[in-house]
Every structure is written in C-alpha cells, then in structure tokens.
Structure 1
C-alpha cells in the first residue's frame, strides 16, 4: 500500500464552508420561523443536506487514515524505528488513538440520522 495523497486545498475549504453554512442555517431557523415562516423548511433542508455532505466527507477522511495506519502496518514499523523513546511513544499514541477512535462512526451516525430526518420530513410533509 502506498501512502494516500492529500486533497487539494479547494476541497478542504469547500467542505469547511459547507459545514459552516449548514451550521449557520440551523442557527438561523428560529429567527426565520418567526419572521418568515415559509422559509423554515428550505433553510432546514440546506442545513441538513450540507451536514450530510460534510459528515460523509469527514467519515471518509477517518477511514482513509485508519486504512493507512493498518494497511501500512505503521504501528509495528514504528516500534522497530530508531526514534527516541519519547518520540516513538508520542507517535505511537497518536496513531493508536486515531486507530481506535470512534470519530468515524460518530460522523456516519450523524449522516445516517440526517438522511432519516430528511426522509421522515418528506414522508410527513
């Protein structure tokens, strides 16, 4: 396995702004509902769909990191390296914590629940 390539900055910033826009949409909802009730659902959809895209992207990054660590056997290779004891322990901790983190599952659950919320609203609405 070869190390994965970094994504271009425009992708990183694109998803950053997608997440930011979604966050703003949810925070605007109470105001919009009070001042322009007809705008509530369109704003809510933009927020939920934006979060779906953002969290799916974050989930894929987490999977990519884990697959790299496991696929390249980095933890074992690190143990055999000539780094200083403190350096190796710090790097081992970082890699190990990324490997066992539930961050990816968290993103996946939020994504799935967002899709369920959209489906429920479409079914009810």
Structure 2
C-alpha cells in the first residue's frame, strides 16, 4: 500500500509522546502508591497500561510506515545516485538499511499485545469477578 510521506500533525505526535511519558510515570508510581492507596495504585496501573497500548501501537505504525517508504521509493539506491559525498552516502545507507532490518517492531508488538491482554484480564478481575 502506498504510504504518505507526511508527518502527523504536531498535536497527534504530542498526544502519543505524552501518552508514553504518562504511562511510564504511572507505572513507576505504582510502587509508591501501593503504600498509600490501593485504589489510586490501580488507577495508575490502568492509566499506564492504556498509555502503553496507545504509545506502542503508534510506534509500530511509524516503524512500518518508514520501512514501506524506504521500499516504495527505493531510497537506498536513490541515495547512491546522488551527488552526496561518499561519507554522506554511507551514512544514509546505514540509516536506511538499519531501519529496514531493525527488530524494534517486534518489541512494539510484544509490549502492545501484552499490555492489551493485561488490560482485558485486569478489567475482568477487577470488575467482573
């Protein structure tokens, strides 16, 4: 599927950025919150889990879009055919090749899926059991 080479609006990128930051802070705060209020700790867990689901779904989508754009526009070969210096060509080739071969998307998938499953199980255990 052809990919759009435009970045998302700043507000969208900020939304996902802050969902990741808030999720991380919430997860770290659970250790302290457990000593004061189980309900607040549980709320932090839910907020953190939903934040991670959003953040890692977005990171996966960005990673996939980059790979598709590199392939769609044959960017590795395009860089070789420019008037760039040899070090610039090598740097671009390195960046593009590693973006194609990185395993980061699997990290995003695992975190997304396990967070989603934890959320479903948590909802069941906390509200329906």
TM-score, L = length of structure 2: 0.88
Task: Say what the alpha-carbon RMSD is for the aligned residues.
Answer: 1.5
> 2:74 matched to which residue of 1?
73
User: What is the correspondence of 1:1-125 to structure 2 with a 5 Å cutoff?
Assistant: 4-125=5-126
Q: Aligned pair count?
A: 125
CA–CA separation in structure 2 for the residues paired with 1:2 and 1:116:
30
- Cα distance change, pair 114–2 in 1 and its aligned pair in 2 (3 A): closer
Deviations 1:55-103 (A, max 9, x none): 1011111111000001111112222223221111111011111110111
Q: CA deviation at 1:54?
A: 0.5
Gaps in structure 2 of 5+ consecutive residues: none
Deviation at 1:38, TM superposition (A): 2.1
Distance 1:45 1:29 in 2: 11
Q: 1:106 to 1:2 in 2, by over 3 A?
A: closer
Alpha-carbon distance in structure 1 between the residues aligned to 2:65 and 2:120: 29
Q: Where do 4+ consecutive residues of structure 1 move more than 4 Å?
A: none
The gaps in structure 1 that reach 5 residues or longer are: none
Q: Equivalents in 1 of 2:14, 2:57: separation in Å?
A: 15
